[in-house]
A and B are shown apart, each in its own frame.
Chain A
Amino acid sequence: MTDWVYACAASDIDQEDLIRWDYHGKSYAIYNTERGFFATDGMCTHEAQHLEDGLVTGMVIECPLHQGRFDILTGKALSAPVCVDLQTYPVKVEAGRIYVKI
C-alpha cells in the first residue's frame, strides 16, 4: 500500500538542487528542477553513498563520490560507474508543501 507522505516545504529546496529526506528508516532525495519537483532513493546504486551532496545539472543528478549520473525524472543510470537505475517516487506539491508517494 502506498501513501502520500508530507516531506518538506517546497521552499526548503533551492532551484536546481536537492535535499535529503529520511522516512521510516529509509533515505530519499527530493529535487527542485527546471521541470518541477521529483523524488528518488537517496543512496547511489553504485556504492553506499548518499546523493545529498551531489550536483544537479538540468535533469541529472551526479553522485558526489564517483560522479556516476542518473536521470532524475526516470532514475535511469546514465554514465559509469553507475549501472543500476535509481528508484523514483511520485511527487505532488500542494500549497507549497511537497508530498511523496511511498
Chain B
Amino acid sequence: MTSEYVATNAASSGISVDRKKLKSLGRRSDRPGLVWLAKWAVLMTAGVLAVHFTWGTPWAVLSMGFYAFVLTVPAYALSHETAHGTAFRTRWLNELMLWVSSFLYFGEPYHRRYAHTSHHTKTWHVGDDAQMPFDTPMTFGGWLSEQSGLLLFWYEGKIIVAHAFGIVGSEARRYTPEGEIRRLILGARLFLVGYVLVGAAIAAGQTWLLIYFVIPRVLGGPAMQFFTTIQHAELQENDPSIVKSTRSFAPSALNRFLYMNMNNHIEHHLYPQIPFYSLPDLHDVVKDQLPAPDPGLIRTNLELLGVVIRRSLGRNTKAPTIRQAPHMITSGGFEPIARASMR
C-alpha cells in the first residue's frame, strides 16, 4: 500500500445501513444464480441458433453481434460475481462458475480474485488499485484503446503466460498472499493449456470454436467495455469515499440482467458482500444517501465520449448530466493523475 490503510467501503464513505437489514440483504441462496444461469443459457442458445441459421448471409452480422453481446457481458459479470464468492450459496458451484466464466472472459481466476481485492481495498487509488484500466483524466486516445477491448487481452494474456512460466511480478505479489502464488501459477498453466488447446483445435479444423467462442468474445469486448469503462471514469481518484470514486447508472432491464445488476456499482463497492440479486434492494435502502444514478448505458457512454473528445481538443469538459469529479471539468488542458495499472 502506498497510503495509510483505510479500506474504501460504506464506513469510509459515510454511508450506513441498519445492521439487520444488511444481514437480510446479504443472505445467500443458489436459486437466483441458477435462474440467472438458465436465462443466460436461453439467450446463448438463441444466439448460437441465430448465428448458425444466418451464417453466410448478411444477417449473420446482426446475429453475431447479438451473440457476442450475450456471451461476453454476462461472462464478465459472472466472473466478477463469482470472484467475490457471492453468486451462489454452494461454494463448489460458485467456484465452478468462476472457472467457466473466467475462461470465457479471458482472465485467470486466482489472479482475477486477488487483483480485485485490491480494487475494493483501495478503490481508484493510484498505486494501490490494481484494476485502474486507463490513464486519468481520460483522453480520446485512452477511450479508444480502452473501448476496443483489446488491451484487456494484452494485459490478461501477458499475466497468463508469465505466471504459467513461473514469473510472478512485484505487482501481483503485492496483492496476492505469499502462500497463494503457487495457485496463480497453477491456474495460469491450466488456462494457458486450455487456450492452446482451443487454438490447436481450430487449426485442426474445429472452426465452430472460432465462430462460437473466439470471434464473438473478441467482438463482444467493446460491448463489455461500455459497461465497465463508466464504472469509475471521470470520477475522483485517491478518495476514501466510494460515492466520489464510483458511478451507478440506470440501464434497461435487459442490460441490468446481462450485467448482473452491477449498474448499482456504488452500492456494490459500499457493501461488496451483498449478492447481485439483492443489489436492487440495497439500492432502495441507501438511495437517499447517494446521488441519483447517471442515465442509461448508451447516454452515459455518449456523454463520456463527448467529454473525452472535447478534452483532447482542449475544450470545455463539462458533461451534460453525468457525474464528474471537480478536477475533471476544465475549460481546456488537464493535469495527468493516474497511469493505468492494467497494462
Contact = CB atoms under 8 A, between A and B. Distances in A.
For the residues of A in contact with B, the DSSP-based class is loop
Nearest to A54: B273
Interface stretch (A3-11, A22-30, A41-49, A94-102): A41-49
A93 interface: no
B139 interface: no
B113 A80 contact: yes
Contacts of A83: 177, 179-180
B26 interface: yes
Contact of B5 (A48, A53, A62, A80): A48
Given A53-B22, A65-B120, A65-B272, A79 B7 contact: no
Contacts, number: 62
B91 A67 contact: no
B177 A64 contact: no
Nearest to A69: B85
Given A47-B5, A67-B86, A62 B23 contact: no
Contact of A67 (B5, B19, B85, B179): B85
A54 B9 CA distance: 13
A66 to B, nearest CB: 5
B28 interface: yes
B273 A67 contact: yes
Interface residues on B, range: 20 to 34
Nearest to A56: B23
B217 interface: no
Nearest to A49: B7
Interface residues of A, number: 21
A64 B9 contact: yes
A17 B272 contact: no
Given A17-B23, A81-B114, A67 B272 contact: yes
A47 B28 contact: no
B271 interface: yes
Interface string A68-102: 01000000000111011000000000000000000
B183 to A, nearest CB: 8
Given A79-B91, A80-B113, A83-B177, A64 B272 contact: yes
Contact of B113 (A53, A57, A81, A84): A81
A79 B5 contact: no
Interface of B: 5, 7, 9, 19-20, 22-23, 26-28, 84-86, 89, 91, 110, 113-114, 117, 120-121, 177, 179-180, 183, 271-273
8 contacts: A48-B7, A53-B273, A55-B23, A64-B273, A65-B7, A66-B272, A81-B177, A84-B177
Interface of A: 14, 17, 46-49, 53-55, 57, 62, 64-67, 69, 79-81, 83-84
Given A47-B7, A53-B22, A55-B273, 6 more contacts: A14-B23, A47-B121, A48-B7, A64-B9, A67-B272, A84-B177
